[in-house]
Structure 1
Amino acid sequence: MHLKEKPVLEVKHLSVRYGEGCEACRSSLEKNRCPVCGTVWAANDISLEVYHGEVLGIVGESGSGKSTLMRCLYLDIEPTGGSAFFKDYKSGRTSIWDVSAAEKRRVRNHLMGMVYQNPILGLRMDFTSSANIAEKLIAAGERDAGAMTGRATELLEAVEIPSSRMKEPPRVFSGGMQQRVQISRALANHPSLLLLDEVTTGLDLSVQAKVLDLIRKIRAKYGVSILLVSHDLAVIRMLADRTVVMLDGKIVESGLTDQILEDPQHAYTQQLVHSLI
């Protein structure tokens, strides 16, 4: 279905290692650690694409490399090797990991929105909800107070935060409401890609369902592409068009979500799917 379409994001051969690396790293890793030199490969030759309007799910256990991938994409950490190209940045010809700090800030503020598992990482808890959105707009160069107020109101309404509570700080909100404020902030600058990192973990089941339903509505309304990281296959089943399965810093399986859940090929994926049944 994507034969001629250029992906919104293309990641090629991402690696993140902690240690010098050696020849033995090529063939002798125990899980993601080299027994010879002790180097840990948090991400090991990861390549993937995300297309316009799709949800790409990334699933795997703790330590599989999911969060490392997300932090590299959001420019929180520097990869050891690899490239990442955005269609909307320099026509997709320059890797976002190879540009200046000022350009990285521009990419981060204009092209991506990030929703963290822990809202404390993604929100200023003592700012009002509106001010959290305004801060993201200001970072991208917006200076018109009226425009910022209008955008904040539009986005908070889209995530079902009542207008009567827009001037309240997120610290007084429930976990589910904090995630909704994070989502509205992440959407502030019309990003090409929304990064969702374990956004329902720790929430009550009824709240999880509301947040997942909201993500579906946001995708339908704004047509934004989403990279969705989760260890929960039920979440992936509900939202993802395609899924990538990670283990020990590597991609071990990828394909249409339905195919992966109905006919998993890799032993680890089979184990994950069977634990769902």
Structure 2
Amino acid sequence: MIKFEQPVLSINNLNKQFGKGCPSCKGSNEDSLKKNYCPVCGTVYACQNIMFEVYAGEILGVVGESGSGKSTLMQCLYFDQEVSSGEAYISSYKDGKTDVFAESSQQKRYIRNHMMGKVYQNPLLGLRINFTSIGNIAEKLIAAGNRHVGKMEARGKELLEHVNIPIYRMKEAPKNFSGGMQQRVQIAKALSNNPPLLLLDEVTTGLDLSVQASVLDLIKTIQRELQITVVIVSHDLGVIRMLADRTMVMLDGRIIEQGLTDQILEDPQHGYTQHLVQSLL
């Protein structure tokens, strides 16, 4: 009997709406929606029936324009937002048989602190900007139950070196750092507990091209060394091309196309994806 590999993360029918809906739009009647918005009651269907799996050591790219639902998807995965409906399973949590969306807030905190790391587009969301850099890493370690100061300091130094932050600046607050350095501190913090799953939300937006390249190179190097599973969201197909093994394309809260990144880039099927690829050429 063939034993198939269990996905690190499995998402079934994830839905997130802002608003209660009305008879006109309930049941996801696409004809009644303007893009993903109901003009009758004002409900926004930010994510609609999202389904995907991501496997060990894989980088899954999620690409789409602003408002396509990709950042809302990431907020739901990291429990920054409650889903409206749907299921999520993480292989390292209760043998991958328990829907993590249905767990208590206490259990969700445990999952966040032990099994996930997230790097936000805006470092203000992912860092305490006035804390020291090593203090930010210690915060994540303490949240996961670490109490040994010496071990936490050693781990913090190791991670900051790993992301090319000079050790002599470890006691400096990220508010004094450039955007690229702030993102690298976020990456170090996200990796502090060796999570099996790393979520990256528009990590290069607003950075200079040379800084973008160094951050992307760092992510690729870390992913390769640690064999970590990554979900990366971007509106930039160039970022996805550089990093992702597989890619999902989102539009108006739905996945409209998915496949191997090379396949998506070389032979896009959906008109919107074709337009995206042409704009990259």
TM-score, normalised to structure 1, is 0.97
Match of 2:6 in 1: 6
Give 1:126 shift: 1.3
How far apart, in 2, do the equivalents of 1:38 and 1:169 lie? 42
1:100-132, Cα deviation, whole Å (9 max, x unpaired): 111010001011101011111111111111111
Match of 2:174 in 1: 170
How far apart, in 2, do the equivalents of 1:46 and 1:23 lie? 22
Equivalent residue for 1:92, pick from 87, 96, 100: 96
Say yes or no: does 1:101 pair with 2:105. yes
Q: What letter matches 1:150 in structure 2?
A: A
How far apart, in 2, do the equivalents of 1:214 and 1:96 lie? 30
Match of 2:17 in 1: 17
Greater mean deviation of Cα atoms: 175-184 or 161-170: 161-170
Give 1:38 shift: 3.4
How far apart, in 2, do the equivalents of 1:122 and 1:33 lie? 29
- Give matches, 1:43-192, under 5 Å: 43-192=47-196
**Helix, strand or coil at the partner of 1:52:** coil
Q: How many residues get paired?
A: 275
Match of 1:39 in 2: 43
**Helix, strand or coil at the partner of 1:148:** helix
**Helix, strand or coil at the partner of 1:75:** coil
**Helix, strand or coil at the partner of 1:131:** helix
Give 1:222 shift: 1.1
Say yes or no: does 1:252 pair with 2:248. no
1:119-159, Cα deviation, whole Å (9 max, x unpaired): 11111111111111000000000001111011101111110
**Helix, strand or coil at the partner of 2:7:** coil
**Helix, strand or coil at the partner of 2:247:** strand
Q: What letter matches 1:189 in structure 2?
A: N
Which consecutive residues of structure 1, in runs of 5 or more, have no partner in the other structure? none
**Helix, strand or coil at the partner of 1:208:** helix
How far apart, in 2, do the equivalents of 1:221 and 1:23 lie? 51
1:197-250, Cα deviation, whole Å (9 max, x unpaired): 000000000000000000011101111110000000000000000000000000
Give the ranges of 4+ consecutive aligned residues of structure 1 lying more than 4 Å apart after TM superposition: none
How far apart, in 1, do the equivalents of 2:39 and 2:163 lie? 48
RMSD: 1.1
**Helix, strand or coil at the partner of 1:176:** helix
Greater mean deviation of Cα atoms: 138-147 or 30-39: 30-39
Give 1:165 shift: 1.2
**Helix, strand or coil at the partner of 1:252:** strand
Say yes or no: does 1:229 pair with 2:236. no
How far apart, in 2, do the equivalents of 1:162 and 1:217 lie? 18
How far apart, in 2, do the equivalents of 1:252 and 1:22 lie? 25
Greater mean deviation of Cα atoms: 13-22 or 125-134: 13-22
Say yes or no: does 1:206 pair with 2:210. yes
**Helix, strand or coil at the partner of 1:63:** coil
Give 1:24 shift: 4.1
Q: What letter matches 1:260 in structure 2?
A: I
**Helix, strand or coil at the partner of 2:182:** helix
How far apart, in 2, do the equivalents of 1:129 and 1:40 lie? 38
How far apart, in 1, do the equivalents of 2:155 and 2:254 lie? 39
**Helix, strand or coil at the partner of 1:273:** helix
